[in-house]
Amino acid sequence: MSAALFRDDAQLRECDARVVAVGPEGVTLDRTVFYPTGGGQAGDRGALVRADGLRIAIADTRKSRAPGATPDDAVHVPDDGQESALAHLAPGDDVRAIIDWDRRHRHMRLHTTTHLLCALVPHAVNGCSITADYARLDFDMVEPLDREALQAGLQRLVDGAHPVQVRWITDEQLLAQPDLVRTMTVKPPLGYGRVRLLEVVGVDLQPCGGTHVSNTAEIGSVRIVKIEKKSARTRRVVLELD
Ligand SMILES: [Zn+2]
């Protein structure tokens, strides 16, 4: 099992790790700062660098589909043209795992903004996608949304400089508080004994395994570029960073 360092500290940009396996799926490590695609958030890119200079460019990170894998087990997917470098990488090698921080920080800013939107729109979420260029969040609702009011609300929450922190609760505690779950399409992973809650202090609290900024002020300038009626029961909000 791989240690998912980003779950406790999303601000980590790199770490030392040992190669566990090199296979057709990609490279697995004993620990990583690379976030694997999940919960709507795109997987990280970056590089694995060995002390002798061998460098594997990583194009994506995904959850392992190997039998017995947990949600923390990430596969680092090499970029095109890495075959000859990969041929020199072996289990047991020590590497430095380095993420593309500019891209990841955009994910974190946009992802945290989706939590602020959840606080402003009191409806269930039935779709979510977070990339470096935009985030979109689909709400299960029939009422129209007021873009100017939402934009002003987001700005107020960013300017409010609310701390963002992680809390863990047991499966039983979550099952006793089903109202915590805002997303219909992404169920929190039960069966591992504990569930990760993301708290924007005083604003939002819900299960989430993604990466977030440490304070809403770190989001900076974000704007709602589109609100659309996706279907009779879905309103889609699209966000971009300035
Ligand atoms: Zn989140």
State the average pLDDT for the chain.
Answer: 94
Q: What are the C-alpha distances in Å from 237 to residues 55, 61, 125?
A: 39, 26, 11
Residue type, 5: L
Phi/psi for 62 (5° steps) reads: -130, 160
For residue range 181-199, list pLDDT tens digits in order: 877 666 777 777 888 999 9
- Distance in Å, CA 51 to ligand 1 centroid: 34
The answer to whether the CB of 120 falls within 8 A of the CB of 139 is no
- Distance in Å, CA 74 to ligand 1 centroid: 18
- Distance in Å, CA 111 to ligand 1 centroid: 6
Place of tokens 């190669």: 19
Question: Sorting pLDDT into bands at 50, 70 and 90, what band is 129?
Answer: very high
154 has pLDDT over 80:
yes
- Distance in Å, CA 42 to ligand 1 centroid: 12
- Distance in Å, CA 90 to ligand 1 centroid: 34
pTM over 0.85: yes
- Distance in Å, CA 20 to ligand 1 centroid: 29
